[in-house]
A and B are shown apart, each in its own frame.
Chain A
Amino acid sequence: MESMRVAVVKVFLGLLLMLGVGGPLLAGQSAMAQTPAVAGQAERLSALEKQVAANTAAAASAQTAGDNGWMLVSAALVLMMSGPGLALFYGGLVRKKNVLGTMMQTFAMMAVITILWALVIYSLAFGDGNSFIGGFGNIFLHGVGSAPGVYASTVPSQTFMVYQLMFAIITPALISGAFAERMKFSAMLTFTVLWTFVVYCPMAHMVWGKGGLLNAGMGGRIPCLDFAGGTVVHITSGTSALVTAIFMGRRLGFPKEPMPPHSVVLSFIGACLLWVGWFGFNAGSALSAGTLATAAFVATHFGAAAAAVGWSAAEWLRQGKASALGAISGAVAGLVAITPAAGFVTPMSAIWIGLLAGVFCYFMVVKVKSFFGYDDSLDAFGVHGAGGTLGAILTGVFANSAVNPILGAGKPIGLLEGNGGQVLNQLIGIAIAMSISVVGTLIILFLVDKTIGLRVSEDEERDGLDLSQHGEEGYDWAH
Chain B
Amino acid sequence: MKIKNQEDFWAGLMFVGFGALAIWLSTDYPMGTASRMGPGYFPTYLGAIMLILGAIVAMTSLKLGNGEKITPFAWKPMIMLSLGFMIFGWGVDHIGFIPALFALCVITAAAGQTFKIVEVLVMSVVLIAGAVGIFIYGIDLPFPLFWWR
Check if A and B associate.
no
